Amino acid sequence: MEERKLDKSSIIGFILIFAIMMFWFYLNQPTPEELEAARAAELVANQEKESSESEAEIKIDAVPAVVSDSIVNQAYQNAVGLFAFTPQDEGSTIIENELLRMEISHKGAQVKALELKQYSDYKEEPVHLIAENNSNLRVNFRTTDNRILKTTDLYFIPSISKDDGGVTRLSMKAKTSENAYLEVVYVLKPDEYLLDYTIRSQNLSSYLVDSDDLNLSWDFKAKRFDQSVMYENRYTRLTYQYENKKVRKLSASSDFDEDTENKVNWISYRQHFFSSMLVAEQAFDKVDMNSENLVEEESKDEIYTKAYGSKVNLKLMGGELSSAMKLYFGPTDLEVLSAYKDYALADSIPFGWGIFGWINRYIFNPFYSFLASFLPYGMAIIVMTIVVRLAMSPVTYKSYVSQAKMKVLRPEITAINDKYKDNAMKRQQETMKIYNKAGVSPMSGCLPAFLQLPIFYALFSFFPTSFILRQKSFLWVDDLSSYDTIVELPFTIPFYGDHISLFPILASVAIFFYMQMTTGQTMQMQQQPGMPNMKFIMYLSPVMMLFFFNNYASGLSLYYFVSNLLTIGIMLVIKNVILDEEKIHAQIEENKKAPRKENKFQKRMREMMEQAEAQPEYKKRLKK
């Protein structure tokens, strides 16, 4: 094959081609503006890459350089509009102290994740009050060109600092120019659950419109932290304080509830033992609130309990936005919340209403905290129960004395019932005469029980909401603030659950014997028409206790068990040691002999019965 050689024509051709290519590249080289735009785009791309490699946990120590070229701003204009001066950054900044760890998103300047460092849930996992987009805290505002903007759609430039006292300050700015911006500031102090939260603007008066569209909105889904989602949901509730420290709650059980209130001091999104709160430095003029129930039945897979929503109206001052508030993320604990007396945050704890709440807050809580400071938590409940029952023993004594007197009068009452079995009015009159002569009041047995009701109800509210009991063990119980389990059932019993708790069983047995002692004497008396069937009640109450408390706090069941055991013991001592039925009988006989004067109530009752008996209609009914 003939070898081809490179001749002069080929060389000249390659040179011409090379020259033409160089000339073409020269004509199409980029302008200085295009080169700068390319460099800016590369800068943004690198920032996004670094943000993703750090898994959205970038700590910023200084404000990043701002690309101010008009060409780059135009590239951002379609995405962020008025605030195109701020680079787009999907990263986040971490601020934390000994109690909280918060991740603040650069987009929206809102809390993206929040962990309570000292607590764990029933799965022994860290308590994350905010995670997986369950919180959306944003400012909505209208601009002069009639656009509605949300801070969650804006990008913010973070700047973080920390002073010698350990106070962390995070400033987040969404800029329209170098000196015009919307700023969100978080200030976190050491060992504090309460942090400063400020929203302000600078040199935006020509853009912002003071209207009803200017508000702070907070949507929040309460996460589940307890083993029983239904039980936790009973105490998961939106609570707020308004006017002269009045406290109101949205419904805990309704599918949906809402309210609008003026002069609101704080809003609490309570999650049973934890709370997320928005606190006003100066009362919010108007707040719209709502609560939606997300739980329909007991489930091990349910993640959320309630969905909360609030909209706080904001006002411009001198054309600028300036609103100073506080955020609380922490336990619903009396000891912790009492530290913030200036804001009365402890009022968000559901102690109970009226006198019941007063008893819990100022008697049971301090007393139990004192006992638990040197006793195991379960033993502290037992000791507190003993003290309460001994304090109520005089009431128990009066109640049993009344029962003993009624027992002595039982033969006479039975004779009256037999004699006037067809005449209810006459039977009642004669019974009242016997009581009056003997100096016995049927109500004397009810009054002591009535006096114990405030204690009963107060303790009913104390145990399920006492934070100090959370995750404290006793005997076979892992958590005194939740139910105890001795057997896991492979199925679910309606109204009972998928497990068997021992303390409710023990409490039900104790209640049965207690009721047998207290109502057994009443049942031995002839059942009068219209009176409840005491035997039915005696059997029904323990069964109701068994079903109702199977999913309740085991600390409460422990209290009822010990309380009823002590009451039975006190009654046995009163019956066998203190009281002498023969002496009571002799005293009643003496009372019958002595003339007794009717009080106004007895006289009025006797006259009303006599008037009723004299009515012709009554006589006709007797003849029939």
Per-residue pLDDT of 98-112, as tens digits, reads 999 999 999 999 999
Flag whether 621 is in a domain: no
More confident residue, 573 or 372: 372
DSSP-based three-state secondary structure for 564:
helix
- Regarding whether 408 and 335 lie in a shared domain, the answer is no
Most confident by average pLDDT, 70-84, 285-299, 607-621: 285-299
- Of 288, 319, 350, which closes a domain? 350
Strands (E), 97-156: 100-105, 111-120, 126-130, 135-143, 148-150
**What pTM does this model have?**
0.74
How sure is the predictor about 573, in pLDDT bands with cuts at 50, 70 and 90? confident
Please say which residue of 299, 315, 350 terminates a domain. Answer: 350
What's the one-letter identity of residue 203?
Answer: N
User: Does the pLDDT at position 463 exceed 90?
Assistant: no
Residue 497, pLDDT > 90, answer no
Same domain (yes/no): 244, 373? no
Let me know if residue 615 belongs to a domain.
Answer: no
Residues 293 and 367 in one domain: no
Weakest-pLDDT range from 388-392, 449-453, 465-469, 489-493? 449-453
520 belongs to a structural domain: yes
The mean per-residue pLDDT over the stretch 575-586 comes to: 67
Q: Among 350, 372, 393, which residue terminates a domain?
A: 350
Residue 401 domain boundaries: 357-606
**Is residue 407 in some structural domain?**
yes
Beta strands in 178-319, from DSSP E residues, in sequence order: 180-188, 194-202, 208-209, 215-223, 238-242, 246-249, 256-271, 274-293, 304-313, 316-317
Same domain, 334 and 363: no
pLDDT value, residue 55: 39
CATH number where 226 lies: 2.70.98.90
> Same structural domain for residues 420 and 496?
yes
Q: Are residues 435 and 501 in the same domain?
A: yes
Q: How many CA atoms lie within 13 A of 589 on its CB side?
A: 7
Q: Are residues 295 and 419 in the same domain?
A: no
- Least confident residue range of 155-159, 375-379, 434-438, 568-572: 434-438
**Percent of the chain scored above 90 by pLDDT?**
33
Q: CA-CA distance, 501 to 484, in Å (whole number)?
A: 5
DSSP 23-37: HHHHHTPPPHHHHHH
Q: What is the pLDDT of residues 503-537, one digit of tens each?
A: 888 988 888 887 777 665 544 444 444 445 556 66
Residue 402 in any domain: the answer is yes
* Residue 280 bridge partners (DSSP): 325
Same domain, 323 and 377: no
Which residues lie below 8 Å from residue 93, measured CB to CB, with a gap of 6+?
58, 59, 60, 103, 104, 106, 158, 160, 170
At residue 54, the pLDDT reads 42
Together in a domain, 322 and 421: no
Cβ 252 vs Cβ 237: under 8 Å: yes
User: Same domain, yes or no, for 214 and 293?
Assistant: yes
pLDDT over 50 (residue 73): no
- Any idea which residue has 């020259």 for tokens? 19
Nearest-angstrom CA–CA distance, 473 and 486: 14
Residue 314 and residue 372 in one domain: no
- Element holding 161 (H helix, E strand): strand 157-162
Q: Is the same domain home to 223 and 370?
A: no
> How many separate domains does the chain show?
2
Are 106 and 156 within 8 A, CB to CB?
yes
Q: Is residue 37 part of a domain?
A: no
Whether 613 is in a domain gets the answer no
23 in a structural domain: no
Q: Which of 106, 110, 112 is nearest to 91 (CA)?
A: 106
Q: What is the per-residue pLDDT for 515?
A: 76
Strand partners, 184: 172, 199
Give the three-state DSSP class for 179.
coil
Identify the residue with better confidence: 277 or 475.
Answer: 277
Q: How far apart are CA 606 and CA 429, in angstroms?
A: 7
